[in-house]
Amino acid sequence: MAQGRKADLTVVDFKQKFRIDASRFHSKAKYSPFDGWEVQGRPVKTFVKGLLVMDEQDIVAKAGCGEVIRGDGA
């Protein structure tokens, strides 16, 4: 990563436990192989390109602010 570029970052509170519930995902996929698992460490904030997009389980960014990232280098 080049100096001065905006980063994607997720802040995790490792003191929190929670149960994964795929039906609450903010995505088209409403499934997960981890559905129902109790895990240690809950994401509390997510930044994309330096912009706060998730804060305490609430999506706070405007729809469409993201972009598709292709694995083929496109």
Torsion of CA 35, 40, 45, 49, to 10 degrees: -80
pLDDT digits (tens, 9 = 90+) for 20-48: 999 888 777 778 999 999 999 999 999 98
Spatial distance between the Cα atoms of 68 and 70, rounded to a whole number of angstroms:
6
Domain boundaries, the chain: 9-59
Res 68: pLDDT: 72
Q: How confident is the model at residue 2 (pLDDT cuts 50, 70, 90)?
A: low
pLDDT digits (tens, 9 = 90+) for 46-65: 998 888 999 998 889 888 77
Question: Does the domain made of 9-59 have the CATH classification 3.10.20.30?
Answer: no
pLDDT for 1 beyond 60:
no
